Structure 1
């Protein structure tokens, strides 16, 4: 699976976890059409779940005039994935790649302003 696809699937899994309050493995089974194991997808999902408190704090610290609880599930999931990739992943993901991927996926799944919002929050984190 390509990394972009893994990120999109991770987005879907994390979205399911938030919406349905289910375990990561169950959410991965629901999100994957067939039995495909992907190490990068698994590392993102479990990494975000494992570091969720620190990730959410980092996001909260960089929000202006917003509260994490008010964010749409899509934006929250994408911010969590990118924040994990930027600060918690064992992989060396270039900052620009992590941010760009989150923005591109936001254009697919979010509203018209999602990409710009996500770019702003993530850009503030890396300054």
Structure 2
């Protein structure tokens, strides 16, 4: 499975976890539809779930006049995956993590999603380099 596909499936799994309160393993199983488990997909879903509090705090610090609870679930989970990659996946360059999030937001979000996501992730990335 390509990493873009793994990210898209991770988005779907994290969305299920948010909406249906499914566990990570159950959510992954639901979105695979019998396909073989991909290690990167498992890492994204399990890692994001494990570090959810820290990731949400990081996102929260860079929202202006918004709270994490008010964000669209799709946008929030795209941000969560990208922040997980920025903080914990050392073989993915920051610009790649951000670009992938933008491409996925164009496919799954609304017309304003990519601009919003780019702004938040750029601030988070800048904070990492200080």
TM-score of the superposed pair, with normalisation by structure 1: 0.96
| Residue pairs, 1:17-36, within 5 angstroms | 17-36=17-36
Which structure 2 segments of 5+ residues have no match?
Answer: none
C-alpha separation in 1, matches of 2:125 and 2:12: 25
**How far has the Cα of 1:37 moved from its partner?**
1.1
**How far has the Cα of 1:36 moved from its partner?**
1.1
C-alpha separation in 2, matches of 1:19 and 1:54: 20
Question: What is the SS of the residue equivalent to 2:111?
Answer: coil
**2:109 alignment counterpart:** 110
C-alpha separation in 2, matches of 1:29 and 1:66: 33
| Residue pairs, 1:1-127, within 5 angstroms | 1-89=1-89, 91-127=90-126
TM-score of the superposed pair, with normalisation by structure 2: 0.94
**How far has the Cα of 1:41 moved from its partner?**
0.4
The aligned length equals 126
Which structure 1 segments of 5+ residues have no match?
Answer: none
- Which structure 1 residue ranges, 4+ long, deviate > 2 Å from structure 2? none
Question: What is the SS of the residue equivalent to 1:58?
Answer: helix
Query: What is the RMSD computed on CA atoms of the aligned residues?
Result: 0.8
**How far has the Cα of 1:126 moved from its partner?**
1.2
**How far has the Cα of 1:34 moved from its partner?**
1.9
**How far has the Cα of 1:119 moved from its partner?**
0.3
**How far has the Cα of 1:97 moved from its partner?**
0.5
